[in-house]
Amino acid sequence: MAKNRDIPTDLQPNPADYAFDLDGVLSAVVGLRSTAPSDAFTASALGTEREGSGIVIGDDGLLLTMGYLIMEAETIWITSADGRAVPGHALAFDGETGFGLVQPLGKLGLPKLELGDSGEAALGEAVLFASAGGRRRAIETRVVGRQEFAGYWEYLLDDAIFTAPAHPFWGGGALIGKDAELLGVGSLILQQGDAEGRRLDMNMIVPIGELHPILDDLRRYGQVLRPARPWLGIYAMEDDDTVMIGGLADGGPGDRAGLHTGDRVLAVEGKEITDLAALWRGVWACGPAGARVTLTVQRGERRLNVPVATIDRRSLLKTPRMH
C-alpha cells in the first residue's frame, strides 16, 4: 500500500489509548479485490474491478463486507495486513441491508471481531473506523448522526450511523467500539448536515444490528429467506419537495414501462410522496416482487399514471462461481 494513501498520522489511533490489543483487532480487517465479468448486470454501475475491505467475523475466517464489492464476482482475492493473499468465494448478498459474506478458500489465521450492539454507537461516541492496512488505514472518529438514510438505488435504512471525520477508504471498513466489538460496516462517503446544522464529509455506516437476525440465513442459503422486494429499476433523487427519476436501468421494469429520466414522481398507488423514503416504502408496500405498481409522474405539462410490472432484482444477477 502506497504511503501517500495512509491516514494522516494525527488521525491514526494510538495503541496507548486503548484497553485492548489495537494491532491485533485491526488485523481482522483485510483487503478485498474482486473482478466481475464485463456482461454482469452491475458492471456498468459498479465496474468490473472492485476494491475494499472485509472483516473477519467467523472462526472459519468468514468475512463480512458490503455486497456491492462482491456482487457477480468471478474472482475474489483476500489480502491480510502482512501481505498474505488467499482466494475467496462470494457466499452471500442481501439487497435490503447491503451486507455481503465472503468465504476464504484458504487459511487466514486471523482473529475475528465479535459482533457488538450497534445501539452503543450513540451520538458523540468516539469510535474507530478501519479499512485494510492496520493502523495506517484506521481513523479516530465520532458518531455525528443516527437517522434514516434513503439511497437512490431503491435502498433504505431506518437508522443509519454517520461518522466524521470521514474515512477515505470506506467500502467494507469496520466501525469498532470501545470494547473492540464490531458496530457497523462502512458503505458510503457523503456530505450531510450534523446535529448542529454544519455540512460535513462523513461516512454512512450500516449498523451491525441489521446483521444479527439474518446472519444464519446468509450463511446457510446465501440469501435471506423472505419474499423479495419489488424492484422498479429506477435511480431517483430528491429535488426540492419532489422526487425525480435521474436514470433507469437498461431493460429494467421502469424502462420497459415507459418511465423517462426527468419524470417527477408524485404518487405511488395514488398516495402522494415527497421524498425518497416515502417512494421506496410506498413501492414495497404493494407486495413482493412481481407486484404491479402504479406511479403518478409529472412529465413536462402532462400528469401520467404509469403501471410498472416489478421484478426480483436478484433474477438479473450472475451467480458467483465456486473456485
Residues 20-32: pLDDT tens digits?
Answer: 999 999 999 999 9
The CATH architecture of the domain made up of 234-316 is Roll (2.30)
Contacts 24+ apart (CB under 8 A), 299-305: 299/260, 299/262, 299/263, 299/264, 303/266
d(CA 154, CA 43) in angstroms, rounded, equals: 18
- pLDDT tens, 83-140? 899 999 999 999 999 999 999 999 999 999 999 999 999 999 999 999 999 999 999 9
d(CA 80, CA 263) in angstroms, rounded, equals: 47
Q: Could you read off the pLDDT tens digit of each residue along the chain, which spans 323 residues?
A: 334 578 999 999 999 999 999 999 999 999 999 999 999 999 999 999 999 999 999 999 999 999 999 999 999 999 998 889 999 999 999 999 999 999 999 999 999 999 999 999 999 999 999 999 999 999 999 999 999 999 999 999 999 999 999 999 999 999 999 999 999 999 999 986 656 777 779 999 999 999 999 999 999 999 999 999 999 999 999 988 899 999 999 999 999 999 999 999 999 999 999 999 999 999 999 999 999 999 999 999 999 999 999 999 999 999 866 55
pLDDT recorded at residue 142: 96
pLDDT recorded at residue 193: 64
Identify residue 194 by its one-letter amino acid code: D
Kindly tell me the sign of the dihedral angle through the C-alpha atoms of 32, 37, 41, 42. Answer: positive
Classify domain 118-209 by CATH number.
Answer: 2.40.10.10
pLDDT recorded at residue 3: 42
The strand pairing partners of 103, in sequence order, are: 89
61: exposed, middle or buried (Cβ count in 10 Å: 0-12, 13-18, 19+)? buried
The CATH architecture of the domain made up of 16-112+216-221 is Beta Barrel (2.40)
Which residue spans of the chain are classified as CATH 2.30.42.10? 234-316
Instruction: Please report where in the chains the cell 432484482 appears, as a residue.
Output: 313
d(CA 27, CA 156) in angstroms, rounded, equals: 31
Which residue spans of the chain are classified as CATH 2.40.10.10? 16-112+216-221, 118-209
